[in-house]
Amino acid sequence: MKVLILTLAFLVIGFSPLFGSERSPINVNLIIDGSSSLTAVKANVTTWVNERLDQIVANGDRVTIWSAGQSARVIYTGTINNQNDREAAKRSIRDLSGTGSSADFSGALREASGQQGGSFSYTLLISASPASLTSLINSPQANMIRFSRIEEFSGWRAFVVGLNIDTRVRRAAAAFIGS
């Protein structure tokens, strides 16, 4: 009986980091449609994205937020270390205004893909108009959304994009087949 209790104690104490809330910092990329199509759905997008950030982001994570308007531009970048950092990221989303008729998703995805380091990366793309996706689908970055998970909402979509995942899948498959 003592052995069983000691074994259970070791498992709980020894493996607690695996099941605890601590994890390595990640890079979070948030790309938001900056075209005029955002205006009609901005309140819903802002509420949903801010809730999602609260679910995903932990202290130590690096967050970069792009406005994908006529050209992609970073509107926030920083490491989240406290509640003030979270609020600064959320404020940049609330302050975003949509203008123009197009969204440069391909430019933002290209930049986000180029910034990936060795750590895990989570990329969320918000599109407020099917028309705004046209330039992305017809660009060299179209393959980046091939492995995406899409959530549809009234008037907009959220894409969880697997940046550079095709390369990782090919390497993993080659390693598996070669073993």
- pLDDT tens-place string over residues 55-79: 999 999 999 999 999 999 999 999 9
Which tops the pLDDT comparison, 88 or 110?
88
Mean pLDDT of 81-94: 97
**Does the pLDDT at position 44 exceed 60?**
yes
pTM across the whole model: 0.77
Which whole-number Å values give the CA distances from 36 to 89, 96, 116, in the listed order?
21, 11, 29
Domain range list for the chain: 23-178
Exposed e or buried b per residue across 123-145, where buried means at least 16 C-beta atoms within 10 angstroms of its C-beta: bbbbbbbeebbebbeebebeebb
Domain 23-178 has CATH 3.40.50.410: yes
Q: Where does the pLDDT of residue 121 fall: very low under 50, low under 70, confident under 90, or very high at 90 and above?
A: confident
**Mean pLDDT, rounded, of the chain:** 81
